[in-house]
Amino acid sequence: MHQQHASTPGARAWLGLLVVLGPVLLVSMDGSILFLAMPRISGALAPTAEQALWILDVYGFAVGSLLIAFGNLGDRYGRLRLLMIGTAVFGLASAAAAFAPDAGLLIAARALMGVAGATLLPSALAVVSELFADPRRRAQAIGIFAAAFAAGFAIGPVLGGVLLESFWWGSVFLVNLPVVAVFLVLAPVLLGEVRATRPGRVDVTSVVTSAAGLLLAIYALKRVAAEGLSLLPVLAALTGAVLLVWFATRQRRLRQPLMDFSLFGDRTFTVAIVTGLLPLAAWSATAYLAGVYLQSVLGLAVLHAALLALPGAAVLTITCIITPAVVDRIGKRTTLLVCHLSIAAGLLLLLPTTVHGGAGWYIASTVVAGLGYGLSFALVADTAVGAVPPERAGAAGAIAETSNEIGNALGIALLGSLAALVFRLQGPAFAPTLGETLQIPELTATQVDDAKSAFVVGLHAAVAVASLLHVVLGVLASRWLPRQSKSDSSPSPGAPADLAEREAR
């Protein structure tokens, strides 16, 4: 009877996995698909510097701040049901974004996409785990799930560039609709419902305070970078800080916290979570800034810019796939050190770029850094889960997923704001962004060159800071993580499988 159960649903299980990967790819891809599209969007909707950053990162903040909360809701009301609802809302919000008539409505549509995206990741992982009864097959499926999620980040800019070569900017959102339609038709046939036996309570206060505190703090940073110090951003920063401190304090008192901060007492877990956050922050910021550089500074066509990103995307995706073998050979400690030093070195390769040339340096940068990004994307969840007791694996995995999404948004918010600040201080002072400046009529050639030079200086400042942070984190990883041991050098398929089992309960 057991053998029949293990063999007969094989094809159905793998088809179910294939169907689930559609929404997973959309969630990660939509975190990066706008990087090459922003010059087109800026030309069509004329967003302010602050609005441009919100268009890019409100999606990531919505996903990251609600990810754990929606994981708990799925336990209570059914993972497949939440997955279906979230996918449908994601499709509707994508259509709204494609036809948004102004920047404000585009930001609102992107926020709604993020809310829907937050329903998809934890529910998709639990549904996948339910499809595979055998632990080894389940571990393989979860590995494919993680690789697809990482690949989506790399594919996003390339796909966006290809679409923009032939269609208007809204096409980068409409491409979601066929995937949504296929999922909604096939999911009820191929997938089963998953509920927790003891669903946890969702603390609404924690959800609201964490999201509000984060958004207020980032709003203040964006406003200061774009316009300088004033009363409003200072008050927003203080309010955001108070809310985040209150959130952290409240989590220590709750029996079922939204985020279990006590896990950070383990140094290995802390390094893993920061590794989930920092590389994605560096990757998202440099991908966005480099997209503007290639198009607005060097004057490359969007398809040309997309093709230049292909080598780095290929390295990143392949590295995600081979990371388990790399860890098996050299251990997690050495792998994490290689990860951070590769990213640091790759980022520094952007420093020789100039107003008049630098496409070759960009390709070299994405290839070298892509090795590190691929290692980090594939390693974070397993390292985080392996650092804590089995009964806390679910909480560790949820925090690891959240760190990825928050890192994706924070990179643009913080490093993007740093680049905007440098541009405002170094530029010709006609407008707060390069895109807005280049649209001003009657600019002289010297003024255009000055604006482009100021943007390149801002790009260099952002990558230098990100590179330095990765060097520091690499040193911390080498000091804090234990040296090679049996548990460190051998693959741990049970860890992600255990996480999936706990997500499914």
pTM, full prediction: 0.75
> Can you state the angle between helices 79-98 and 176-190, rounded to 10 degrees?
160
- Section 451-478 average pLDDT: 92
- Give the residue from 312, 340, 21, 20 showing the smallest Cα distance to 155: 312
Q: What is the per-residue DSSP string for 340-398?
A: HHHHHHHHHTTTT--SS--HHHHHHHHHHHHHHHHHHHHHHHHHHHHTS-GGGHHHHHH
The torsion of the CA quartet 135, 381, 321, 325, rounded to 10 degrees, works out to -80
- Residue 294 · residue 153 · CB < 8 Å: no
Q: How far apart are CA 496 and CA 502, in angstroms?
A: 10
pLDDT at 95 over 90: yes
Task: Report the distance separating Cα 59 and Cα 110, nearest Å.
Answer: 5
Q: Which position has the higher pLDDT, 330 or 67? A: 330
Q: How far apart are CA 106 and CA 102, in angstroms?
A: 6
pLDDT of residue 110: 92
Each residue's pLDDT tens digit, 30-68 = 777 777 788 888 888 888 877 887 888 788 777 777 776
Task: Give the C-alpha separation, 312 to 334, whole Å.
Answer: 22
Q: What is the pLDDT of residue 353?
A: 95
DSSP string, 403-452: HHHHHHHHIIIIIHHHHHHHHHHHS-SS-SSHHHHHTSTT--HHHHHHHH
Please state the domain extents for the chain.
2-202+258-504, 203-257
Q: What CA–CA distance (Å, rounded) separates 286 from 458? A: 11
DSSP calls for 108-121: HHHHHHHHHHHHHH
Per-residue pLDDT tens digits for 105-135: 999 999 999 888 888 776 777 777 677 777 6
pLDDT in tens, 288-325: 899 889 988 998 888 888 888 889 888 888 887 788 78
d(CA 417, CA 49): 9
Q: What is the signed CA dihedral for 452, 458, 460, 466, rounded to 10 degrees? A: -150
- CATH number of this structure's domain 2-202+258-504: 1.20.1250.20
Could you give the CA distance from residue 262 to residue 203 in angstroms, rounded to a whole number? 18
How does residue 4 score in pLDDT terms, banded at 50, 70 and 90? Answer: very low
Q: What is the pLDDT of residues 402-452, one digit of tens each?
A: 777 777 777 877 888 889 889 988 878 777 778 778 888 888 888 889 999
C-alpha–C-alpha distance, residues 320 and 376, integer Å: 8
For 351-391, how does the pLDDT look when each residue is reduced to its tens digit (9 = 90+)? 999 999 899 999 999 999 999 988 887 777 667 767 777 65
SS3 16: helix
Closest CA to 119 of 155, 153, 154, 72: 72
- Give the pLDDT confidence score for residue 190 in this predicted structure: 79
Angle at 283 between CA 57 and CA 358, to 5 degrees: 115
Sorted by sequence, the CB contacts under 8 Å of residue 24 that are 6+ apart come out as 120, 121, 124, 145, 148, 149, 152
% of the chain at pLDDT higher than 70: 84
pLDDT above 90 covers what percent of the chain?
A: 18
Question: How distant, in Å, are the alpha carbons of 54, 100, 107, 357, 362 from that of 62?
Answer: 11, 19, 11, 37, 30
For residue 319, what are the contacts with CB-CB under 8 A and spacing of at least 6?
370, 371, 373, 374, 375, 378
Which residues in 184-202 are b (16+ Cβ under 10 Å) and which e? eebbeebbeebbbeeebeb
